[in-house]
Amino acid sequence: MSAAPAADDWIVEASGLSKRFSGFAAVSDVDLQVRRHSIHALIGPNGAGKTTVFNLITKFLAPSAGRILYNGEDITGESPARVARRGIVRSFQISAIFPRMSVADNVRIALQRPLGTSFHFWKSQCTLDSLRQRVDELLDAVGLVDQREQPAAGLPYGRKRALEFATTLALQPELMLLDEPTSGLGHEDVDRIAELIRKVSANRTILMVEHNLSVVARLADTITVLARGRVLAEGPYDRISADPRVIEAYIGGADDQRA
């Protein structure tokens, strides 16, 4: 890791990233580099700024300062939808599904974008039927194919997250940002999602915020630890878990919050 890799090895290079909310610095001067085709985890105590970093990279928030390069191109000024079309697709902490649409339609809405007919208000939606096979493949991958006609709202929580995962995957993102993909899931679902993440990480880069350290240990190639909006440490799991500053931040950070 210590040898400086070639610049095109990085899919995301964020430098000097800061975000202030009326005086409060949620993220300050964060440099983050994500290696192509790796699984990179962001960890840190509550309020460390992990989700804010996510929002900054996906442009759901505009940074107060700093620059974000994606594949070497500056995306700092782009809209969230534009960034998504470049191939950076994110998930959300709370399951982001379209509750009243059927499970299949949830996935289809993502698949239809590359068809380029999304503005065609004069066409019948039957023109989307060609996507059916692909929808079923994706649903099959997350074990939802039997529920394809059900309204998404009726799924149990863990299955909603699986549906969200399938929808995100449908876009074949080059970079997938997963915001706490296993939060609120039971053991069985955690294993399932972790396995899925590993499966889809081939030929793809994944940046995830994750609280479950065993999942992080299992999956992540690189870990960045954030605390109070700053990068505290970075490296593989073994090194991070032994770092006294990280331990201090986790324990001390928890104390701070209770105070």
Interface contacts to another protein, rule CB under 8 A: 22, 58, 60-61, 79-82, 84-85, 89-92, 96-102, 105, 108-110, 112-113, 115, 117-125, 127-128, 151, 167, 171
Considering the complex, what minimum distance in angstroms separates the CB of residue 194 from another protein?
22
Please give the DSSP secondary-structure letter assigned to residue 77: T
> Strand 24-35 and strand 10-21: pairing?
antiparallel
Q: Within a 10 A sphere around the Cβ of 239, how many other Cβ atoms?
A: 13
Considering the complex, what minimum distance in angstroms separates the CB of residue 185 from another protein?
19
Considering the complex, what minimum distance in angstroms separates the CB of residue 86 from another protein?
9
Nearer to another protein, 50 or 90 (CB): 90
Cα 8 to the chain's mean position, in Å?
21
Residue 95 to residue 112: CA distance in whole angstroms: 21
Nearer to another protein, 151 or 253 (CB): 151
Question: Could you report how far apart the first and last alpha carbons of the chain are, in Å?
Answer: 38
With 0-12 / 13-18 / 19 or more C-beta atoms within 10 angstroms meaning exposed / middle / buried, residue 131 is buried
Retrieve residue 207's tokens.
């940046």
Considering the complex, what minimum distance in angstroms separates the CB of residue 167 from another protein?
7
Nearer to another protein, 116 or 244 (CB): 116
Retrieve residue 93's tokens.
């902490």
Q: Do residues 18 and 27 make contact, with C-beta atoms less than 8 angstroms apart?
A: yes
Considering the complex, what minimum distance in angstroms separates the CB of residue 41 from another protein?
20
Nearer to another protein, 8 or 149 (CB): 149
Nearer to another protein, 193 or 233 (CB): 193
